[in-house]
Amino acid sequence: MISPDSDLYRAHPDWAVHVPGRENSPGRQQYVLDVSREDVRDNIFGQMCSVLKNYRIDYLKWDFNRNLSEAGSALLPPERAHEFFHRFTLGTYDLMDRLVTEFPDLLIENCSGGGGRFDPGMLYYSPQIWTSDNTDPIERLMIQFGTSLCYPASTMGAHVSRCDRTDYRTKGDVALWGTFGYELDPNKLTEEEKEIVKEQVAEYHKYYRLIRGGDLYRLISPWDNAFRCAWSFVANDKSEALVTVVTMRMAQETLFRLKLKGLDPQKYYRNEADGQVYSGSLLMYAGMEMTGQAEGDGASCKIYLREV
């Protein structure tokens, strides 16, 4: 992005995306730099290098804060103006490639605008993409459920934030589906909430390999069920599973039995919470009795099963 009120724009107004001879439309008080041009990419790369080389920076957020309007370039003649979008995308990839080549240990996170801009091409350079600025855990269920149809949990940026709709346990359970993190002021957390955060961070490390390397099973879709959402991660060798249930709103019918998927019907599994042992066949075909669990609007629970 480039501000109209900047030294760079005053020196190089042609570096903004525009159609020659037409008035440009600002968005969010910004224009967009024309990265289809090599000289523009050189300038951006040089500015970024001067910062990244002089400071210890491990993480970079790459956002795209407005739509392209007046999509054109000063370097393209009218008969080739239709090439702009393709050239802009290739220019973005080129800039990303130069960054990860120069700074191989730099973690770049892209931004998807609510899941709509997840791009396999960008994932080549940035292994995770911020799924949505909407961090409400109930709203996130549909966002993450939909994104997971195409992309693995390791790519979905998901955070715990200061949202009053649910408690911190539900926020953490939903964020655990993605890259997991916090975006809040820790100084405003109560002592009880700080202890919950410590537990959640420990859970993140405990379940890290299972969530990122296991198979995802969508058990209850928030589009098909107005009350509950559920999913699980199952290890490739069927030796363990993590099941998550979120109650979006309580139903009048409180009896709840959840049928799992992906387990080995010949294996037996112990519920870490209560020590009960179940066969994989029972858990998948009869289901697990969960009446009274995740009870109440915005409540959630996790069930960790390990082969015995």
- Count how many residues are written for the chain: 308
206: tokens are 């405990």
- Residue 35 burial by Cβ neighbours in a 10 Å radius (0-12, 13-18, 19+): buried
Strand segments, DSSP code E, in 122-224 are 128-130, 156-157, 160-161, 182-183, 215-220
Q: At what angle do helices 191-213 and 168-175 cross, to 10 degrees?
A: 20
Residue 159: which residues within 8 A CB-CB, separation 6 or more?
135, 175, 180, 181, 182, 183
Residue 201: which residues within 8 A CB-CB, separation 6 or more?
none
62: tokens are 């790459």
User: One of 39, 42, 97, 133 is an active-site residue; which one?
Assistant: 133
Active-site annotation holds for 63:
yes
Active-site annotation holds for 133:
yes
User: One of 63, 97, 237, 297 is an active-site residue; which one?
Assistant: 63
Catalytic residues: 63, 133
